[in-house]
Amino acid sequence: MSESVAAAGSKRSSLRFSVNDEQLVSYKTAYEDGEALLANISTGGCAVYNATVRVAEGEKLLFSFDILSSEEPFELRAICVRLKDDGFAVQFLGVDSSEANRIIKLLATRARSEKK
């Protein structure tokens, strides 16, 4: 995972962390379960690639992932906001401030440990 990035002119309001290793995420649609690799993540959403199950823009999903293996996995509701060649981007729904703080803390811890 690399440092956080903020794109100039971006509509995003959250710090986004790029992921340099193969962080697996699981997701559930209304009918199927899939897996993908995390491209980047923020408290507002994430982008994935190598998705095993295709989704549609506007489709609601349940995302499950762990940032550090010693922590309890996150389970977050999300909606697909953008499709890519072999993946998609989602916006997380209903993330409260304690979950957002936990995500930031874990991402920052992981980024620091990878710099060492």
Place of tokens 């992932």: 65
Query: 38 near 25, Cβ under 8 Å?
Result: yes
Over the chain, what is the mean pLDDT?
82
pLDDT at 8 over 60: no
Q: Determine the average pLDDT of the residues in 13-33.
A: 81
Q: Determine the average pLDDT of the residues in 20-34.
A: 90
User: Is the whole model's pTM more than 0.85, yes or no?
Assistant: no
pLDDT in tens, 28-71: 999 999 999 998 888 899 999 999 999 999 999 999 988 766 56
DSSP string, 7-24: -TT----S-EEE--S--E
Domains and CATH numbers, the chain: 4-115 (2.40.10.220)
